[in-house]
């Protein structure tokens, strides 16, 4: 499950059933321009920082930047759900 909501300076996402290490490796690939997703370079350029933490069964991602939940949520879901969940 992915829950994404807007915060003052970006978005916050809570992912249940994902491993922090798997999420971190996907994000690093996207930041390096080597992702397997259909990332929009215009959206990626608006990201100032990404923080990943985990607790119990959840992985939390905070993305800082000039981002709109309606724009980034479908991208995150498409990129993260494919083969990352429940590995």
Whole-number pLDDT of residue 82:
62
Could you give the maximum distance between any two Cα atoms of the chain, in Å?
34
What is the pTM (predicted TM-score) of this model?
Answer: 0.83
19-46 tens-digit pLDDT: 889 888 888 888 787 877 877 888 888 9
* Domains of the chain, each with CATH number or no CATH: 2-84 (3.30.70)
Distance (Å) of CA 25 to CA 20, 68, 70, 80: 9, 23, 24, 11
């Amino acid at each position: 499950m992915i829950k994404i909501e807007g915060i003052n300076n970006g978005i916050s996402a809570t992912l249940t059933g994902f491993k922090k290490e798997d999420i971190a490796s996907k994000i690093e690939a996207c930041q390096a321009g080597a992702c397997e997703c259909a990332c929009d370079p215009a959206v990626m350029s608006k990201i100032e920082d990404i923080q990943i933490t985990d607790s119990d069964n959840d992985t939390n991602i905070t993305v800082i930047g000039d981002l709109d939940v309606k724009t980034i949520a479908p991208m995150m879901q498409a990129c993260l759900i494919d083969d990352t969940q429940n590995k």
